[in-house]
Structure 1
Amino acid sequence: YNLMKGARHLTYCLGANSYGQLGLGHKEDVLLPQQLNDFCEPGCVRRITGGGGHSTVVTDEGGLFVCGLNKDGQLGLGHTEDVLYFTPCTSLLGCPIQQVACGWDFTIILTESGQVLSCGSNLFGQLGVPHGPQRCVVPQVIELLREEVVCVAAGLRHALAATASGIVFQWGTGLASSGRRLCPGQTLPLFLTAKEPSRVTAGLETSKVRCVLAGSDHSASLTDAGELYVWGSNKHGQLSAQAAFLPVPQKIEVHCFQNEKVTAVWSGWTHLVAQT
């Protein structure tokens, strides 16, 4: 929760806290909203993002604060100890952050200059660094993303980026296993199996994407024309399709949105929410 009070933001938290991901200094679950201390004064909170067991906060000045589960270095602090309070990511001081996407056990970081960094587990290539180590405890630049990036997303074991020119890249093999199981005998596109950024081409050739999203086992993108494309697992009907798995992006027909353009989309673990 991020509530305005004059010129200040009051930040509240609640829910599961097994790894200290609420930033309250303990590991007890919290059943009612509890106000966090002013850990980032004088900056105000711009974005809050949560992963499998870790949390991140980006301030108005582009500062990054992290806490929670850190066994794979997903907090980017240079070690693998859990952190119970929101702590500044000192390795990124002086590098203003625009957005952070938290996967299950990894983190994707977008700077204000459009550069993308990653840290945490790399067992499934989710850090986008080919031939890299199994984990990285300090954010490292994804060198293969050479274009300016404007939006990033992270799922269970895969990640995405959208560039300023509207191109989508995906990496990490998180969707490949369910794709092979649900699409037997079909060759999966490279972006579902790549451990480095791979362009998502099929289905998006003529579209300019401005936003990407990820759930545990699905991906989505929103174009500047207000069209929503989805791919990956449809186990819970989250892709509004008949097939159990969509190997390439498929547009959700406009009549599903009462013939209106989509202006914003959010993704949960196994569901999507769209605003017209």
Structure 2
Amino acid sequence: MEEEERVWSWGAGTEGQLGNCSLEDEVSPQLIRQPPLSVSNISSLACGAAHVIAITSSGKVLSWGRGSSGQLGHGEFVNNSLYPKPVTSLDPYFITNVSAGWSHSAFVSDTGCLFTCGDASFGQLGHGDYTSRCSPAKVSSFDNRRVAKVACGMRHSLVLLEDCSSNQVYGFGSGKRGQLGISKDRVKSINLPQVVSGFEDAETVDIAANGDHSAAISVDGNLYIWGRGFKGYEDANSPRRLNSTSSFTKVALGWNHALTLTAAGEVYMIGGNHLGVLSNHWSTSSAKQLHDLREANMEKVPGLDDTKVVDIAAGAEHSILVTDNGEIKTWGWGEHGQLGLGDPCDRARPVTVNLGYDMDDVSSIRVYCGSGFTFALTKP
């Protein structure tokens, strides 16, 4: 019998988001031994402000953590769930993609249906109203389209459609910082999906959202960013392509920074000048438009010479990466132990995390960040 993936968590835990039946922070990685996870082969995770969603290899969904806005999808508004519970209303579907925002959640089925639940105060559920829901409800705007991926920011959502050469990305929810990308003018909020402008000549293959930021990657490796401007840059109401010679494969957004992963396995940071930023040269920059970003404005993460990075993730103010030799490295804000280094201290440069497990027996590692906590999936 094939051994299942192991799920590890650390950091802020006061609302049950670590999934270990505790309401305490953990400064070191803890192996989750709760039955719903120990008997399920977890294929991927999504972390929000204080809740987590897991997909199993059989397309089932588990969730835990804060549920006061209905974001857990359990059919009730509860303060928190201390351990993983199944989202039973989605049992008829095979779920392939999930995302978690500040207080809302989204789920995509293998048939391209989109379901959302949680807080709807800004229209971020996409149902045409501002009514919060405690069970996942189908977003009818995409009834005749196939959704491929969904990304939840703090109070907004992005959707990537499948097999479309244009009009691929849609946004809804809060748009006061330009994060919806649907208009040249500032939009307070919308409750129905609208097309994100600016991708007419690009085929989008991935999307990301966090805080008031949005991002997308095109099939040819170009990176587009819009929403709240990073340090030294104005807000952007529509996608702006990063002027870089690199080909990007992944982007991870924090509240004040972004990590980018290139096809060559290099990691760069954009923005910040806050906890965990690698330098402060943005502090003297005059305000510029985002489309003026040059490769020189990205800072390469140090200490990774001759090492290829295979995964990245970003929390509110912390970052994590995985190298091709199986090392997990974290840096940034550490107040709740989210760096997994055994203390609540901040780190300005990447430090290796010890899972307390023989990594020679691990074939792959994937990492995920909530606002102040971290998860890792290790596969034997």
| In structure 1, C-alpha distance between the alignment counterparts of 2:146 and 2:156, rounded to whole Å | 20
Cα displacement string for residues 82-138 of structure 1 (whole angstroms, at most 9, x for unaligned residues): 011011111112322222111111001111235111000111111012226421111
Q: Which of 1 and 2 has greater Rg?
A: 2
Residue matched to 2:90: 40
Residue matched to 1:70: 120
For the residue of structure 2 that corresponds to 1:197, the secondary structure is strand
* AA at the equivalent of 2:41: M
Instruction: Report whether the alignment pairs 1:231 with 2:261.
Output: no
Residue matched to 1:171: 226
| In structure 2, C-alpha distance between the alignment counterparts of 1:148 and 1:106, rounded to whole Å | 22
| In structure 1, C-alpha distance between the alignment counterparts of 2:83 and 2:157, rounded to whole Å | 25
Residue matched to 1:257: 304
Root mean square deviation of aligned Cα: 2.3
What is the CA-CA distance between 1:234 and the residue it aligns to? 4.2
Residue matched to 1:185: none
Q: Sort the Cα spacing of 1:269 and 1:7 in 2 relative to 1 into closer, same or farther, 3 A.
A: closer
Select 1:4's aligned residue among 41, 45, 50. Answer: 41
Residue matched to 2:316: 269
Q: Which runs of 5+ in 2 are unaligned?
A: 1-35, 43-55, 286-296, 324-380
Residue matched to 2:241: 199
Q: Sort the Cα spacing of 1:79 and 1:100 in 2 relative to 1 into closer, same or farther, 3 A.
A: same
* AA at the equivalent of 2:112: G
Residue matched to 2:369: none
| In structure 2, C-alpha distance between the alignment counterparts of 1:10 and 1:144, rounded to whole Å | 35
Instruction: Report whether the alignment pairs 1:58 with 2:108.
Output: yes
Q: Sort the Cα spacing of 1:124 and 1:8 in 2 relative to 1 into closer, same or farther, 3 A.
A: same
Select 1:88's aligned residue among 126, 138, 145. Answer: 138
* AA at the equivalent of 1:73: G
Q: Compute the TM-score of the two structures, normalised by the length of structure 2.
A: 0.62
The answer to whether the 8 A contact 2:125-2:191 is kept is yes
Residue matched to 1:113: 163
For the residue of structure 1 that corresponds to 2:141, the secondary structure is helix
What is the CA-CA distance between 1:174 and the residue it aligns to? 4.6
With a CA cutoff of 8 Å and minimum separation of 6, indicate the structure with the bigger relative contact order: 2
Instruction: Report whether the alignment pairs 1:139 with 2:193.
Output: yes
For the residue of structure 2 that corresponds to 1:49, the secondary structure is strand
Q: Compute the TM-score of the two structures, normalised by the length of structure 1.
A: 0.84
| In structure 2, C-alpha distance between the alignment counterparts of 1:271 and 1:127, rounded to whole Å | 24
The answer to whether the 8 A contact 2:108-2:147 is kept is yes
The answer to whether the 8 A contact 1:235-1:245 is kept is no
* AA at the equivalent of 1:134: K
Instruction: Report whether the alignment pairs 1:123 with 2:176.
Output: yes
* AA at the equivalent of 2:241: R
* AA at the equivalent of 1:210: T
The answer to whether the 8 A contact 1:126-1:157 is kept is yes
The answer to whether the 8 A contact 1:154-1:160 is kept is yes
Q: Sort the Cα spacing of 1:20 and 1:132 in 2 relative to 1 into closer, same or farther, 3 A.
A: same
* AA at the equivalent of 1:123: K
Q: Which runs of 5+ in 1 are unaligned?
A: 181-187
For the residue of structure 1 that corresponds to 2:298, the secondary structure is strand
| In structure 2, C-alpha distance between the alignment counterparts of 1:174 and 1:83, rounded to whole Å | 31
* AA at the equivalent of 1:121: S
Which residues in structure 2 correspond to 1:147-158 (within 5 Å)? 147-158=202-213
Residue matched to 2:256: 217
Residue matched to 2:371: none
The answer to whether the 8 A contact 2:260-2:269 is kept is yes
Aligned length: 256
* AA at the equivalent of 2:189: R
For the residue of structure 2 that corresponds to 1:269, the secondary structure is coil
The answer to whether the 8 A contact 1:235-1:244 is kept is no
| In structure 2, C-alpha distance between the alignment counterparts of 1:94 and 1:173, rounded to whole Å | 32
Query: Which portions of structure 1, spanning 4 or more consecutive aligned residues, are displaced by more than 6 angstroms?
Result: none
| In structure 1, C-alpha distance between the alignment counterparts of 2:229 and 2:102, rounded to whole Å | 15
The answer to whether the 8 A contact 1:155-1:214 is kept is yes
